[in-house]
C-alpha cells in the first residue's frame, strides 16, 4: 500500500496552501464578521484560474484533470484558511461532476468551460427542500413537459452560492405517479432565467462568507434541452453525486480541524501559567495528542475514499465513513482548541471560535451523520447477507 502522493498531487496541494495563506487567510475573519462579496468572488475567480474549480474535469472540457485525491488535498488546504471559500469550491466541483457524468455533449461543452474558468463564479446544487432534506425522494418541486419544453414550479432551500451561481443543477418530479424516488429528473437552469427567483439569504452560525439561500421556481420556463441524463433517472444521479460530495465535506472538515489545532498548539507552546508553558501540562498534551491522532485518521479515511473513487471502485461506504468521522473529529478538535485557549478561545479576536462555528455544519450537510451511519451499516450488513 503506497501512501506517497504523486508529484502532481503535491504540487496542487502546495499551490492551494500557498494561495490560501496569501489570499484567503487574511480576509477570512472579515468575510465572517462583515461580509465582502467582491473580495470573496475575486478569490473564487483566482482559484478558477489556477484550476481549482474543475479539478476532476478533463483538460479537454476546460478542467485540470487532476483527480479526486488532488481535489481532497486542495479542499483541505483551502478550508484551513477559509471554510466559506472551501465549501463554494467543493459544491462547484460537484456541479461540474454531475454535468460531466450525465450531461449531453452540448451541455458539457457549454457549461463546463464557464464553470472551470471562473466566468461563472460558482455552480449551485439545488436538491434539498423544506420537507425533503434527509429524504430527498420526498421532494415536491415539479417539472411539467409541454410543447415548449418544461415548466418548473417549487422551491429549494439551503442552496450554496445561489446569488452568484451561473447555473443551477435542479431536481424535480417529472412523473408523480411513479414509485417514490423513481419519477425524478435532473435539469440545468441558467441564472437569470425568468421564474428562477433567488430568495432570502440565511443568517448562519458559521461559514458566513458563502451565501446560502432559498431558491424559488415560479412558472420557470426551461427548454427541452435542459434535461440532463435520462428522464426519471435523476434520483439515482443525486444519490451518486452526494456520495462524491461527502469526500469534499470530509476534506473541508479536516482542514478546519487542523487549522484550529495548529493555532491552539502554537498558543500552548507560548502561553505561561503557574510558571511554565501550558503545553507542559498533561491535560493540554492529551488534548493535542487525541486531536491530531483523530485528524490523521480522518485524513487517511478521506484519501482512501478519494482514491477509490478515482480508481473507479465502489466508494459510497468509504465516503460516508470519511465524512462522518472527519466532521466529528473536526468538531472535537475545534472545541479542544477553544478549551486550550480558555477565555480567549471564546473571543472573536482569536480565530478558534470561528473554526468551531465553521466546523459545526459539517456533521449536517451532504447528509447528516445519522444518515451516514445508516448508509455505512447498510453496506456492512450486505456482506452478512442481511436485507
Give the span between the Cα atoms of 291 and 328, in whole angstroms: 11
* Contact between residue 208 and residue 35 where contact means Cβ atoms under 8 Å apart: yes
Grid cell in block for residue 270? 507560548
Closest CA to 206 of 28, 68, 74, 56: 28
Q: Which residues of 113-123 are buried (b: 16+ CB within 10 A; e: fewer)?
A: bbbbbbebbbb
Grid cell in block for residue 39? 473580495
User: How many CB atoms within 10 Å of residue 162?
Assistant: 23
Closest CA to 142 of 371, 132, 134: 132
Grid cell in block for residue 118? 471562473
Catalytic residue among 129, 214, 294, 366: 366
Closest CA to 334 of 260, 266, 284: 260
Q: Catalytic annotation on 366?
A: yes
β-pairing verdict for 165-173 and 122-126: parallel
Number of H helices, E strands in the chain: 11, 10
User: How many CB atoms within 10 Å of residue 144?
Assistant: 12
Give the span between the Cα atoms of 142 and 150, in whole angstroms: 10
Catalytic residues, by residue number, are 366
Amino acid at each position: 500500500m503506497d501512501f506517497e502522493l504523486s508529484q502532481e498531487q503535491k504540487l496542487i496541494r502546495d499551490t492551494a496552501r500557498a494561495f490560501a495563506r496569501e489570499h484567503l487567510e487574511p480576509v477570512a475573519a472579515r468575510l465572517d464578521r462583515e461580509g465582502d462579496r467582491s473580495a470573496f468572488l475575486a478569490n473564487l475567480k483566482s482559484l478558477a484560474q489556477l484550476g481549482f474549480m474543475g479539478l476532476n474535469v478533463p483538460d479537454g472540457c476546460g478542467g485540470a484533470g487532476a483527480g479526486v485525491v488532488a481535489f481532497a488535498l486542495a479542499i483541505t488546504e483551502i478550508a484551513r484558511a477559509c471554510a466559506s471559500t472551501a465549501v463554494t469550491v467543493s459544491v462547484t466541483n460537484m456541479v461540474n461532476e454531475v454535468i460531466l457524468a450525465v450531461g449531453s455533449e452540448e451541455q458539457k461543452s457549454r457549461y463546463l468551460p464557464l464553470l472551470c474558468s471562473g466566468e461563472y463564479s460558482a455552480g449551485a446544487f439545488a436538491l434539498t427542500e423544506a420537507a425533503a432534506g434527509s429524504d430527498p425522494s420526498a421532494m415536491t418541486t415539479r417539472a411539467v413537459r409541454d410543447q415548449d419544453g418544461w415548466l418548473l414550479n417549487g422551491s429549494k432551500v439551503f442552496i450554496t452560492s445561489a446569488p452568484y451561481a451561473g447555473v443551477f443543477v435542479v431536481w424535480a418530479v417529472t412523473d408523480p405517479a411513479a414509485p417514490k424516488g423513481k419519477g425524478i429528473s435532473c435539469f440545468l437552469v441558467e441564472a437569470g432565467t425568468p421564474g428562477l427567483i433567488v430568495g432570502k439569504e440565511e443568517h448562519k452560525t458559521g461559514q458566513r462568507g458563502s451565501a446560502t439561500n432559498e431558491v424559488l421556481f415560479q412558472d420557470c420556463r426551461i427548454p427541452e434541452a435542459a434535461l440532463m441524463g435520462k428522464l426519471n433517472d435523476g434520483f439515482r444521479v443525486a444519490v451518486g453525486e452526494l456520495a462524491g460530495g461527502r469526500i469534499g465535506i470530509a476534506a473541508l472538515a479536516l482542514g478546519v480541524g487542523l487549522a484550529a489545532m495548529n493555532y491552539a498548539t502554537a498558543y500552548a507552546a507560548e502561553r505561561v501559567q503557574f510558571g511554565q508553558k501550558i503545553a507542559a501540562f498533561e491535560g493540554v498534551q492529551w488534548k493535542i495528542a487525541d486531536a491530531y491522532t483523530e485528524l490523521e485518521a480522518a485524513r487517511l479515511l478521506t484519501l482512501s475514499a478519494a482514491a477509490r473513487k478515482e480508481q473507479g471502485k465502489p466508494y459510497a461506504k468509504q465516503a460516508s465513513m470519511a465524512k462522518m468521522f472527519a466532521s466529528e473529529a473536526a468538531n472535537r478538535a475545534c472545541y479542544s482548541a477553544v478549551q486550550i485557549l480558555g477565555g480567549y478561545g471564546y473571543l472573536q479576536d482569536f480565530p478558534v471560535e470561528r473554526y468551531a462555528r465553521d466546523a459545526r455544519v459539517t456533521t449536517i450537510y451532504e447528509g447528516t451523520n445519522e444518515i451516514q451511519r445508516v448508509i455505512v451499516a447498510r453496506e456492512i450488513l450486505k456482506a452478512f447477507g442481511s436485507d
